[in-house]
Amino acid sequence: MYKFNYHKPQSLDEARALLKSNEEGIFLAGGMTLLPAMKMRLASPSDLVDLGQIEELKGISIGPDTVQIGAMTSHADVAASAEVQTMIPALAELAGSIGDAQVRNRGTLGGSICNSDPAADYPAAVLGLDAMVVTDRREIAADDFFVGMFETALHESEIVKAVRFPKPQRAAYAKFSNPASGYAIVGVMVAQTSSGIRVAVTGAGPNAFRASALEAKLTADFSAADLDEINIDHSDLNGDIHASPEYRARLVVVMAKQAVRALGG
């Protein structure tokens, strides 16, 4: 690990000022990806601006039809929240499936979505539930947020404050996970929302995406019975030692069927 300066701001204004004064600095959320990258010398920021002490970035607030989760709220807190379990049980279940206990207690919602890891779980929830990402400058719709591998629509130094999830009519998440890391080889969130059926996929491609063919099929008939007829284009999907692009394409359908069956379809 290269030498760096560590800062612990107490407010958003202080965090922004620290980053502005250190051109090679970077915000630190849970650090589940950044710190290992620094240990392997794959990343060498001059300064770490730790957001962990900024209280306005933490916590869960419940509205009549929404769940808003602060960016620095841990996966474990989301999984354990009785309010989230009641309002959006699929979201609590997804949070509880991330990594292991250590990762769930250190990793954060904001850190996960800002990193836009192609195998992370939360992007499927944000896309599938049609969430709104709330930053210190604006609100970004889920469909506009994830733009590539480790790439989002965030501007330089923009800070995610919270994610607002509308309560779906019903939703379920199914994941085929890597047995060692818990990362999604393929994860699929199926949700029936006020705007229709949404099917969001993580782990399969360079970033989370919606499976339009599955959405159309389920809109016409919300049943797992005929989903095998859907062929997912594997030309842009990931391939590695764990699964080929073709295998991931098949897993998208299999995981979608599991999620639909969990919802009675």
Any idea where the domains of the chain sit in the sequence? 1-51, 170-262
In sequence order, what are the residues at sequence separation of 6 or more whose Cβ sits closer than 8 angstroms to the Cβ of residue 210? 127, 143, 198, 199, 200, 201
Kindly give the interhelix angle for 212-220 and 245-262, rounded to the nearest 10 degrees: 30
In sequence order, what are the residues at sequence separation of 6 or more whose Cβ sits closer than 8 angstroms to the Cβ of residue 117? 33, 150, 183
* CA–CA separation, 31 and 170 (whole Å): 32
Q: Is the pLDDT of residue 265 over 90?
A: no
Structure tokens at 139: 């609100």
Same fold, 1-51 and 170-262: no
Determine the average pLDDT of the residues in 168-197: 95
Average pLDDT, the chain: 96
Structure tokens at 113: 């979505």
Q: Give per-residue pLDDT as tens, 224-235.
A: 998 999 999 999
pLDDT of residue 67: 98
pLDDT of residue 82: 97
pLDDT of residue 23: 83
Determine the average pLDDT of the residues in 102-128: 96
Determine the average pLDDT of the residues in 156-183: 95
Structure tokens at 118: 């192609």
Determine the average pLDDT of the residues in 154-161: 95
pLDDT of residue 181: 85
Tell me which CATH homologous superfamily contains domain 170-262.
Answer: CO dehydrogenase flavoprotein, C-terminal domain (3.30.390.50)
In sequence order, what are the residues at sequence separation of 6 or more whose Cβ sits closer than 8 angstroms to the Cβ of residue 147? 116, 153, 207
pLDDT of residue 94: 98
* CA–CA separation, 141 and 164 (whole Å): 10
Determine the average pLDDT of the residues in 116-124: 96
In sequence order, what are the residues at sequence separation of 6 or more whose Cβ sits closer than 8 angstroms to the Cβ of residue 73? 58, 59, 60, 108, 109, 110
pLDDT of residue 180: 86
Q: Give per-residue pLDDT as tens, 43-56.
A: 999 999 999 999 99
pLDDT level of residue 1 (50, 70, 90 thresholds):
confident
Residues in the chain: 265
Structure tokens at 71: 């960016």
Q: Is the pLDDT of residue 182 over 90?
A: no
- What CATH number labels 1-51? 3.30.43.10
Nearest C-alpha neighbor of 125 from the set 82, 175, 159: 175
* CA–CA separation, 149 and 35 (whole Å): 19
* CA–CA separation, 137 and 217 (whole Å): 37
Q: Give per-residue pLDDT as tens, 22-73.
A: 989 999 999 999 999 999 999 999 999 999 999 999 999 999 999 999 999 9
The three-point CA angle 74-133-101 to 5° equals 15
Structure tokens at 34: 């950044």
Largest CA distance in the chain: 57
Q: What is the pTM of this model?
A: 0.94
Determine the average pLDDT of the residues in 212-233: 95
